Amino acid sequence: MFRKILSCQRTFSTSGISYQSLLNARIENDKFVVLENSQEKLKFPGIWLRDNCQCGSCFDKNTQSRKIDWENFPKDVKIDSIESNSNNLNIKWSDDHKSSFDYDWLKKRDFSKTSQNTYLSKYYRPKYKSWNKEGFEKIRSSYFDYNDIIHNDEALKDWLESLAVYGVTFIKNNPKDKNVARKLIDRIGFIRQTTYGEEYIVKARPDATNQAYLSNKLQMHSDLPYYEYTPGVNLLHYLVQTKTNGGSNLLVDGFYVADLMRREHPEHYKLLTETVVDWNDIASENGVPFHNIYRAPVICLDMEGNCRRVNFSTPQRDTHFNVDVNIVPDWYDALRKFIEIVYKEAVHFKNNEGDVLCFNNIRLLHGRTGYDDTDTNVRYVIGAFIDWDIIYSKLRVLKNAKYN
């Protein structure tokens, strides 16, 4: 069997840093290709290389997608030989298929933990930074400008990055226009429609079917926890703000609260992450009745045990509670502790008329103090949702698909 192992001189230019690299290419245990020099080692599984062959019959450059039909993927295909030149790693396979990989392309797909962490935190989704009362003041004073976001892609990118990292942003200098929420969301993608429509108006309504449409206090909550696909981001435009003391906002970083509970009240934390709660909403909007139910814990974790979503709304917690009867009393203790911390850590502030508040609805909890609603003292807020998929996608496009 012909196995040519060569060294190659190659200049990498990822992340804006260029450096010379002398790479030795070799096959390891018949299953891997290793590219190595004194500074680094890149290791790629043979089957992954074949699966990701970039030739015209395996990959369609126009649609940027794999053409390989895995039903007929060769089962025992092996690396026959490898050859490297200054730009590419060339592979000849045991079934005579040939693949060629550009080194920059391979480097961007390095399997090392460090490279993968960089990709995941810089490009997949920005790593979040949780905040408490002190941190919030800095976030609130670093507000964004409406015109910058509308006209400048760099400002749009900074806004979305900040929203992803901190979960809350403020926008000032908005026109006195009912379409501000829509125009901001149009810059990213499109409004996420819910049972309550596209844009929704938060003002006191005498015929209210939802607590948000009353002028009384709103307990801390997340919106629509009774959806599996709960809207990711809530954008609120304070078109008219009440002149009296009421109508203040309360916000808390649910990930900060969860982390605090994990450290200081581990038993309560465990119950809140493992006990599945029924969230529901029974009502009708414009004469159309609906009954939403979604079952999920208050604190949802991902595969690595990190917080991925917080669900919380007392009015929308179902009377049905489909869990082991014996854990219920302890779960209520955990819930009480959670609520105590939520209110202790919540920030209070009042948006100025014209401001936009935008926050991560699957991370933050929000609330409102009551206010007097009279003919001369009204509060008129226009809200709209947008999903994280759409935001992350826009953010990647604005970063010029650096990792592709």
- Closest separation between CB of residue 266 and Zn ion, Å? 51
Q: By CB under 5 A, which span of 53-61, 118-126, 214-222, 327-335 interacts with Zn ion?
A: 53-61
Output the six-digit token pair for 291.
Answer: 């009954």
CB-wise, 57 or 319, nearer to Zn ion?
A: 57
- Closest separation between CB of residue 403 and Zn ion, Å? 22
In this structure, are residues 279 and 317 in contact, taking their beta carbons and an 8 Å threshold? yes
- Closest separation between CB of residue 8 and Zn ion, Å? 22
Q: What is the DSSP string of 70-130?
A: GGG--SS--EEEEEE-SSEEEEEETTS-EEEEEHHHHHHT--SHHHHHHHIIIIISPPP--
Q: By CB under 5 A, which span of 47-55, 212-220, 268-276, 300-308 interacts with Zn ion?
A: 47-55
53 binds Zn ion (CB under 5 A): yes
Q: By CB under 5 A, which span of 58-66, 79-87, 184-192, 229-237 interacts with Zn ion?
A: 58-66
- Closest separation between CB of residue 101 and Zn ion, Å? 11
Size of the site for Zn ion (CB under 5 A): 3
Query: Locate tokens 């230019």: which residue?
Result: 13
Q: By CB under 5 A, which span of 3-11, 55-63, 237-245, 247-255 interacts with Zn ion?
A: 55-63
Strand, helix or coil at 330? helix
CB-wise, 80 or 148, nearer to Zn ion?
A: 80
- Closest separation between CB of residue 273 and Zn ion, Å? 45
In this structure, are residues 241 and 395 in contact, taking their beta carbons and an 8 Å threshold? no
d(CA 55, CA 78): 17
> In this structure, how many other beta carbons lie within 10 angstroms of the beta carbon of residue 300?
16
For residue 285, the surrounding DSSP H or E stretch is strand 277-285
CB-wise, 97 or 122, nearer to Zn ion?
A: 97
339 binds Zn ion (CB under 5 A): no
77 binds Zn ion (CB under 5 A): no
- Closest separation between CB of residue 77 and Zn ion, Å? 11
Output the six-digit token pair for 136.
Answer: 């919030």
CB-wise, 34 or 58, nearer to Zn ion?
A: 58
What φ, ψ does residue 68 adopt, rounded to 5°? -60, 135
91 binds Zn ion (CB under 5 A): no
d(CA 217, CA 373): 12
CB-wise, 55 or 276, nearer to Zn ion?
A: 55
55 binds Zn ion (CB under 5 A): yes
- Closest separation between CB of residue 76 and Zn ion, Å? 17
Output the six-digit token pair for 217.
Answer: 């206090």
**153 CB-side CA count, 13 A:** 7
Q: By CB under 5 A, which span of 21-29, 49-57, 232-240, 386-394 interacts with Zn ion?
A: 49-57
- Closest separation between CB of residue 97 and Zn ion, Å? 6
d(CA 148, CA 249): 25
Output the six-digit token pair for 18.
Answer: 């260029």
CB-wise, 71 or 134, nearer to Zn ion?
A: 71
CB-wise, 77 or 283, nearer to Zn ion?
A: 77
Q: By CB under 5 A, which span of 57-65, 125-133, 165-173, 250-258 interacts with Zn ion?
A: 57-65
d(CA 384, CA 234): 6
Output the six-digit token pair for 158.
Answer: 């900074």
Q: Write down how long the chain is.
A: 404
- Closest separation between CB of residue 318 and Zn ion, Å? 53
**191 CB-side CA count, 13 A:** 19
CB-wise, 95 or 274, nearer to Zn ion?
A: 95
Distance from the first to the final alpha carbon of the chain: 34
CB-wise, 55 or 120, nearer to Zn ion?
A: 55
Given 58, 150, 283, 293, the residue binding Zn ion (CB under 5 A): 58
In this structure, are residues 62 and 7 in contact, taking their beta carbons and an 8 Å threshold? no
CB-wise, 58 or 214, nearer to Zn ion?
A: 58
Binding site for Zn ion (CB under 5 A): 53, 55, 58
